[in-house]
C-alpha cells in the first residue's frame, strides 16, 4: 500500500546533531520513508558509525560534519552541499545540549554555551538553508523544541529559556518565510530515553516521578518521534506552518 502524502522519495534531508539519540532516530526515520539523509555533528568518528549503520540498512546517507554554532562554517557547508550534492529539501535542527545547576549558581560560560548550541545554531543553519529554499519556492524546516518550551523544572532554567526561544523562533521563521513556500514547524519532545538522559533513566526517584507526572506513565522511545517528523517533512503538512507539535505522552496537558 502506498501513501504518497508521506513519501519522501527524491528529497534530501540535513539533520543536525544526528550522531546518536533523537537526531539519529529522525535521520533513520526520514531515510526509511525515502529521503537521502545528511548527518551532521562535530565528531567525524561518531558520524562515520552512524552513516554506516544507515547504509547497512540500504539507506542513502552521508556525513556533513561542521560546527552548527559557527555561522560562517554553517553557511560554507550548506553552500558546498547545495553545489556538490544537491538541494536540501528538509532541514531538521536537532543539535542541542543540557546543563543542570541551581540558577543562582549557574556558570555564565554554560549559559553562553547553551544559547550558542540550542538557539544560535537554529538561526545559523536555518538562515543558510532557507536562502536556497527561498530561491526554489519550497522547503521544510523542523526545529526540535521541548516540553520545556512550555514548562520549567528546578535546575534547568537556562535550558527552558533556550527551548522557549526555539518555539518562538519557529513562529518568526514562519512569519518571514511562509510566503516563499517554506513550511517551518517544531517538534517538542517530552522525556525520551536517549544516551544524554541515561543518568535520569537510571535514577529510580526521577523515573518514578516521571511515570506519575506523565499521563502515559512512561518514558518515550525515540522511534515515537519519527511519525511527527515524517508528517512535518512531507506533503501531508503543506498548510501547517509555525506550529509546535508536542510529542510528550501528555505531560504538558495536566498538573
Reported as a single tens digit per residue, the pLDDT across 114-160 is 999 999 999 999 999 999 999 999 999 999 999 999 999 999 999 99
Closest CA to 243 of 151, 152, 139, 168: 168
pLDDT band at 221 (very low <50, low <70, confident <90, very high): very high
Given a contact cutoff of 8 angstroms between Cβ atoms, the answer to whether 247 and 228 are in contact is yes
pLDDT, the chain, mean: 96
Q: Of 21-30, 37-46, 182-191, which range is least confident? A: 37-46
Among residues 59, 159, 191, 246, the one annotated as catalytic is 159
pLDDT of 196: 80
Known catalytic membership, residue 59: no
CA-CA-CA-CA dihedral for 117, 120, 123, 128, to nearest 10? -80
* CATH superfamily, region 4-247: NAD(P)-binding Rossmann-like Domain (3.40.50.720)
pLDDT at 234 over 80: yes
Q: What is the DSSP letter of 247?
A: E
Distance CA 129, CA 114 (A): 22
- Tell me the mean pLDDT in the region 61-83: 98
pLDDT band at 83 (very low <50, low <70, confident <90, very high): very high
Distance CA 100, CA 25 (A): 25
Closest CA to 158 of 148, 147, 169: 148
pLDDT band at 163 (very low <50, low <70, confident <90, very high): very high
Closest CA to 190 of 163, 170, 230, 169: 163
pLDDT of 2: 63
pLDDT at 1 over 80: no
Distance CA 148, CA 2 (A): 36
pLDDT at 44 over 90: no
Joined grid coordinates for residue 97: 545540549
Amino acid at each position: 500500500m502506498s501513501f504518497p502524502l508521506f513519501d519522501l522519495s527524491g528529497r534530501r534531508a540535513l539533520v543536525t546533531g544526528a550522531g546518536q539519540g533523537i537526531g539519529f532516530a529522525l535521520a533513520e526515520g526520514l531515510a526509511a520513508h525515502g529521503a537521502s539523509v545528511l548527518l551532521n555533528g562535530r565528531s567525524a568518528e561518531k558520524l562515520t558509525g552512524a552513516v554506516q549503520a544507515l547504509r547497512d540498512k540500504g539507506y542513502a546517507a552521508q556525513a556533513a560534519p561542521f560546527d552548527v554554532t559557527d555561522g560562517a562554517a554553517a553557511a560554507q557547508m550548506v553552500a558546498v552541499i547545495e553545489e556538490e550534492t544537491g538541494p536540501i529539501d528538509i532541514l531538521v535542527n536537532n543539535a542541542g545540549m543540557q546543563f543542570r545547576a541551581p540558577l543562582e549558581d549557574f556558570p555564565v560560560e554554560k549559559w553562553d554555551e547553551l544559547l550558542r548550541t540550542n538557539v544560535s545554531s537554529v538561526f545559523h543553519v536555518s538562515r543558510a538553508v532557507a536562502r536556497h529554499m527561498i530561491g526554489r519556492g519550497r522547503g521544510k524546516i523542523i526545529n526540535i523544541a521541548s516540553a520545556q518550551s512550555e514548562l520549567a523544572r528546578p535546575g534547568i532554567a537556562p535550558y527552558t529559556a533556550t527551548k522557549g526561544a526555539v518555539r518562538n523562533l519557529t513562529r518568526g521563521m514562519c512569519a518571514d518565510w511562509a510566503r516563499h513556500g517554506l513550511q517551518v514547524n517544531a517538534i517538542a519532545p517530552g522525556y525520551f530515553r536517549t544516551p544524554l538522559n541515561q543518568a535520569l533513566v537510571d535514577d529510580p526517584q526521577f523515573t518514578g516521578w516521571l511515570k506519575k507526572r506523565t499521563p502515559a506513565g512512561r518514558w518515550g522511545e525515540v522511534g515515537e518521534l519519527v511519525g511527527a517528523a515524517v508528517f512535518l517533512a512531507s506533503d501531508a503538512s503543506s498548510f501547517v506552518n509555525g506550529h509546535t507539535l508536542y510529542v510528550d505522552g501528555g505531560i504538558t496537558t495536566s498538573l
